[in-house]
Amino acid sequence: MTAEITIIGSGRMARGLAQTAIRANRAVQILGRNGSQTRDLVESLGAGASGGIVGAPVEGGIVMLAVPYPEVRNAVRELGDGIDGRVLVDMANPVDVSNFDRLVTPPGTSSAEEVAEMVEGRADVVKAFNTVFPATLEAGSVAGQHLDVFIAGDSETAKEKVSAVVAKARLRPIDVGPLRRSRELEAIMLLIFGLQVSPAHENFNWDTSLRILP
């Protein structure tokens, strides 16, 4: 079975995304650098999942970068022409984790826009999933409430493809506009991260998620 979604990475975010894809009845391919970790993840996911090492041929028409911001550029380089003609989903939050007090991207840009600049039109870049966390994706909800997944991109077709996966997984896709809106999606997570690490806000933790009511 050829995978419809390829996930780069084998950590907890990759697991949450893979479970989301499987709930959406999409076959998923996991490509990671850590062979044993990737194998363990694939085996735990069961039917509908396959895996390999980064550098293996990319199967999915949607490629999700489940790696931290400092690893995004290397991940895109390693994919090479494997991204050509595909939808490339960036979910990185470029927050300075040494103090959780600033974004490390230059003013007027974002991680997703940096990815778009790198691929030079060879793939349609979409920002999504940066406002949800691994545990929330694995559960598919928080406190019995569905998750909102905010989606930004310049290609309407690409956003529709990602939105279809999100909706089929029983989450709510919200199109927030062009790719430049990823600046706001990343900036709001600077605030959220600050709350999560602050001892003054004990009710905020890494299992939280953003949702717009109703």
Domains of the chain in sequence order:
5-197 (3.40.50.720)
Please tell me whether the overall predicted TM-score, pTM, comes out greater than 0.75 for this model.
Answer: yes
SS3 assignment, position 99: coil
**Tens digit of pLDDT at every position of the chain (214 positions):** 799 999 999 999 999 999 999 999 999 999 999 999 999 999 999 999 999 999 999 999 999 999 999 999 999 999 999 999 999 999 999 999 999 999 999 999 999 999 999 999 999 999 999 999 999 999 988 888 889 999 999 999 999 999 999 999 999 999 999 999 999 999 999 999 999 999 998 888 888 888 998 8
Contact of 86 with 55, CB cutoff 8 Å: no
What's the CA gap between 18 and 5, in Å, rounded? 9
Integer-rounded Cα radius of gyration of the chain: 16
Contact of 36 with 42, CB cutoff 8 Å: no
